[in-house]
A and B are shown apart, each in its own frame.
Chain A
Amino acid sequence: MKNLKYFFFAIAVLTFVSCKKTFFEPEPQNNPVEMFDNLWSTFNTDYPNFEQRGVNWQEQYDIYRPQVNNNTSDDELLDIFKQMLAALDDGHVSITVPNADQWYSNTIINDRIDNDLFDLELIKTKYMDDNYLESGYGGNTYGWIGNIGYYNIAWIQDNFLDIDDILNYFSNAEGLIVDMRHNGGGDFTWAFSEFGRFTNEKRFVFKSRTVNGSNPGDFTDWWKWDIEPSGTYFNKPIVMLTDRYTISAGERTVMAFNTLPNVTQMGDTTCGAIATVVGKVLPNGWYYTLVIQQTEFSNGVDYEGTGIPPQIYVQNTSEEMNNGVDAQLNAALEQFK
């Protein structure tokens, strides 16, 4: 029995007292200096698009690190983080803190610039006369504008499982408007796996590579993403609308449409936040997101940062929108005349 006591004691000591220091890597502590260093270092090793964003990350450190010390308040630290990350102007980079708006590095999204230049309600009421269908929990909104089919894709998720029904619905249309404006992204594989009816042949869309180590240049091999034909080919002319709020998986879906010969992209340039995003946590419970991937469209261009430009630029204005006129949609309809 005496030996068993020692045995229990040894286990307790091993597991409850010393294991944290013995077995785990040091974790950042909940103080301003360590949190700054942790966030900066994570971007330094894991974020691969400084060049695309025109940012010298070491310079950012040199500017902002001296502003942080152990007396820095939470509000001051948050403000320093925002200033430092704003240089990236990346729609995938964000900070989340309690009881506040999520902050986005991309100025357009964060400041809601021109957010009112797209209004789905206007299209439902004025253009489709309240005669429209919805599916995918609101991810799909579609209906007729004259002889032209109108299909708004709000996000990229399992709403794409309805694509076959929607294309059947528009089987007699003269053409289709795919409205990707304000598409909030999601998981592009839903779009690609269900994209078969839009193409009559296998088409290479883009390639991507992901950071897989902490040294500069540590990437996976490039991975090629294709779309492949499946089901009855939808061979009608398509006009795709985009704007500065078309982001992430929405942009990858725009890339897929742009490989098709029967598609014209109109409107404004997309957000330019295409690559995969991941989340992280700081010791005080704040969250942030960053990008860990590079992508390259089939034409060899990396649109990260710049966004995917339309073939035909058309801008909406607040004045027109207030008068019930969606100039981008009007221009898209004109393409079919």
Chain B
Amino acid sequence: MKKNQLIILMFLLIQLGTLKAQDENYNSFKLNWGMGNLMRQDMSFSDMIYTKWSPVNVQFEYNRSKKLEQQAYVQFGMFKPMIGEPYSYNSFYNGEEEAVPCNFLILDINYSLGKTILDNGKWKLALGGRSANRLNSSNYGFGPAEPYGYYYSFALDVWVNAKYQLSEKHRFVANLALPIFSYNARSPYLSTDAQYLWDNYSHNGLKAFGNYIKGGEIQSWGGSQSVDFDLSYYYTLNEKWDIGAKYSLALDFNQVPANFTQIENIIYLSVNLKF
């Protein structure tokens, strides 16, 4: 229960910061679409490294910037890696079947709040915190067995936001986030156990989702490590619109209950509306 209270307190503090920032008046809304590469090795499921490029990477981002920097974004990615190629086989129980790829879904919902600590016209640097919420939802394609995997992470990060105005029309923005601690819920060792079956006993997806989260634990750098970095370039078209590109790198390592390693590289094309 104490874990849950701590998480609620964390979110309340961030929301207070949001209210305080309402008097700022510079906003932008970005739509990013990109090509991404995912590499994942989750030893709870397989010792193979699953790798796949995917064009299904979309990010909606809202920024509010003046004395306080705020950034909220929702990111969705889908990857369908497979060891080998799809093929048919005959099952005694189901007749002809198809061995299909895995399906990895990644949803990030993040909110960052920072205070500007340097602003000299060219450089603007903000330091603050980020509520980083990542939901990894996976179906592993193992032919006749297709286990479901989850890895839900709710983290409080240190967040650094840097902006560099190269010229009137060109600028760069970078973000770096490192977790202070995170509340993580993962599939059990070897992907299933009695607790997992009990979590699904109601056969209600929402209840199962809640049960998975209840089974999580607070971890710090001893058991879970992650780094999120992105670098964007923007070209100013006019007062309202920018276009640009963004490189995003997400490293995610976890050791409980088994080693999990995930590296995500995405290159986005961006459209930025300022208002």
Chain A residues proximal to chain B, CB less than 8 Å: 1, 4, 7-8, 11, 15-16, 19-20, 23-25, 27-28, 38, 46, 94, 96-102, 104, 109, 112, 158, 184, 187, 189-190, 192-193, 208-213, 220, 223, 225, 276-287, 289, 292-293
Contact = CB atoms under 8 A, between A and B. Distances in A.
A210 B48 contact: no
B85 interface: yes
A187 B88 CA distance: 24
B47 A96 contact: no
B232 to A, nearest CB: 12
Contacts of B87: 98-99, 285
A278 B192 contact: yes
Given A19-B263, A223-B198, A281 B90 contact: no
B193 interface: yes
Contacts of A287: 99, 142-145
B22 interface: no
The 6 A-B residue pairs whose C-beta atoms are closest, nearest first, are A285-B84, A279-B145, A279-B142, A287-B143, A223-B194, A98-B87
B49 A24 contact: yes
Interface of B: 39, 41, 43, 46-49, 82-85, 87-93, 99, 140, 142-147, 166, 172, 188-195, 197-198, 200-203, 229, 231, 247, 249, 251, 253, 257, 259, 261, 263, 265
Given A96-B143, A102-B89, A220 B84 contact: no
Given A16-B265, A24-B41, A220 B194 contact: yes
B190 A211 contact: yes
A16 B81 CA distance: 17
A220 B195 contact: yes
A23 B259 CA distance: 11
Contact of A279 (B146, B189, B195, B265): B146
A158 to B, nearest CB: 7
A281 B142 CA distance: 6
Nearest to A208: B194
Nearest to B37: A16
A94 B144 contact: yes
B147 A15 contact: no
B89 A98 contact: yes
B83 A20 contact: no
26 contacts: A4-B172, A15-B265, A16-B265, A19-B39, A24-B41, A25-B47, A28-B48, A99-B87, A99-B88, A102-B90, A102-B92, A102-B143, A190-B203, A211-B190, A223-B193, A223-B195, A276-B192, A276-B197, A278-B147, A278-B192, A279-B144, A283-B48, A285-B99, A286-B84, A287-B99, A287-B143
Contacts of A190: 203
A23 B263 contact: yes
Contacts of A279: 140, 142-147
B47 A278 contact: no
A37 B203 CA distance: 38
A285 B188 contact: no
